[in-house]
Amino acid sequence: MNEQDRKKLIAENDLRLRKRLARRNGINSGLRYFVLTFVGLLMLYPLIWLLGASFKSNAEIFTSIGFLPSSFDFSGYVNGWKTSTEYTFTTYFINTFKIVIPKVIVTVISVTLTAYGFARFKIPGKKFLFSILIATLLLPNLVLRIPQYIMFNSFNWLDSYKPLIVPSAFAVDAFFVFMVIQFMRGIPKDLEEAATIDGCNSIQVLTKILMPILKPALISVALFQFMWTMNDFLGPLIYISSVRKYPVSIALKMSMDASALVHWNQVIALSVIALVPSLVVFFLAQRHFVDGITSSGIKG
């Protein structure tokens, strides 16, 4: 075999190997996308069913297994919005945002300041205090309910939104603090040192240098707190007793207890409406949310 035939044989073997690898990669990619698509549809199944069931009659919900209703019935939304109380669902939605918006704002502020202190300042006993902070992640919230209730009762805060909002101003959510600290530790200190040389104080360094870089992490904190507060049921149930102050989570449960016959189409319709703010906020902040969870420093 001469040199030219040997080179031709090597080229043919190389081409054959590349085709085999490309075919294998194509099969692997196809299987990967198939699994991801299947899992995605499986996770979306409850939402798809919930949306379809909201347009069904109360009887059809339990007799039909299809997603689409036989005929679109909007009575669940109309009658459900009126509720069985003297207040419409608009009142409960407004009450929910009276809790959610202040809680998200004070959480972001308190978590940022606390994480900044732990990550950038030399505090006596900082390691011990940080260990206590992390240890609180292992403490169930249920064990705090009775002491907190007694304390808020002594403050005359019951039947108000203060017990649901004020604690967040003291960075009680250790998970958020830990997440922002880990993100902040990945930021080089050279930027802060340069800003300090230019005359910035600690607050200016935080607001002008660190917070723009921390934007993905802070949006993640706000998003988590928004969704958790929207879905919070036990807190409002314990501290709020006036019907006119109920948030959406309590109003939904109240609509199920109003009579012996539960109008499930109304409950499901209101549940769909209650999900809309969380879904909208999530999709608007999705890119920053992913960056905040996966990143821990500066890109580029």
| Residue indicated by tokens 């019935």 | 73
235 pLDDT band (50/70/90 cuts)?
A: very high
Candidate from 2-11, 15-24, 45-54, 166-175 with smallest mean pLDDT: 2-11
The 10s digit of each residue's pLDDT in 165-199 is 999 999 888 899 998 998 888 888 888 888 888 88
pLDDT at 153: 95
The 10s digit of each residue's pLDDT in 83-102 is 878 889 999 999 999 999 99
pLDDT at 96: 95
Domain locations in the chain?
3-53, 75-294
d(CA 42, CA 11): 46
pLDDT at residue 299 is higher than 60:
no
pLDDT at 159: 93
Give the pair of three-digit tokens for residue 85: 């109380």
pLDDT at 291: 66
What is the mean pLDDT of the segment spanning 209-221?
Answer: 89
134 pLDDT band (50/70/90 cuts)?
A: confident
Neighbours of 58 (CB within 10 A): 17
pLDDT at 296: 45
Q: Vertex 184, ends 228 and 133: CA angle to 5°?
A: 55
pLDDT at residue 158 is higher than 50:
yes
Nearest CA to 73 out of 89, 85, 91, 61 is that of 61
Domain 75-294 has CATH 3.40.50.1100: no
